[in-house]
Amino acid sequence: MLEKQDEHILVQLQKEGRTTNQQLAEDVGMSTSACWRRVRALEEAGVITGYSALVNREQAGFATSAILHVSLERHDAKFVDEFVSRVTERAEVLECFATTGDADYHLRVVVRDMKAYNAFLDEFMFRLPGIRYVRTNVILKEIKTSVALPF
């Protein structure tokens, strides 16, 4: 179970992933060594899975993104596993969730432009075996994209 101090550390590191250990220790009210040890423990326990730079999608040249609703014809392990592994290895698919509701899966896909999105559908999605349907919901505007859990 996470202690109050751990949560405090996680809140800070989600906000400022490259803050110095000194600053972090000050923020959470600990010595640098105690703080450093806790961070290490959180990393080793797999609570912190990594660190990432957050990059502005548009400035980086990725103008197009969409949310896809996908359903499979059949739900045998064979088809599901194939779908999962193929989708996981495609870098354009940032997120994929198995969900309740009409669609089996929700995917978020990011590409440079519509041409690339079309190619993604034609050359990848539509060729996956056992797909019932793929419905594209083009993202008109990103209202919010956060990676910070709501402690």
Site of interaction with its own copies (CB under 8 A) = 2, 10, 13-18, 45-57, 59-62, 66-67, 84, 87-88, 91-101, 103, 105-106, 110-111, 135-151
119-124 contacts, C-beta under 8 A, 24 or more apart = 120/90, 120/92, 124/86, 124/90
- Minimum CB separation of residue 5 from DNA in Å reads 6
Q: Give the residue carrying structure tokens 């419905």.
A: 135
> What gap in Å lies between CA 90 and CA 120, rounded to an integer?
10
Beta-bridge partner residues of 109? 66, 93
Select the binding partner of residue 118 from DNA, its own copies, none (C-beta < 5 to 8 A, by kind). Answer: none
In the complex, the smallest distance separating the C-beta of residue 34 from its own copies, rounded to whole angstroms, is 18
Binding site for DNA (CB under 7 A): 5, 20-23, 30-38
Closer of 20 and 118 to DNA (Cβ): 20
Is the Cβ–Cβ distance between 72 and 83 less than 8 Å?
Answer: yes
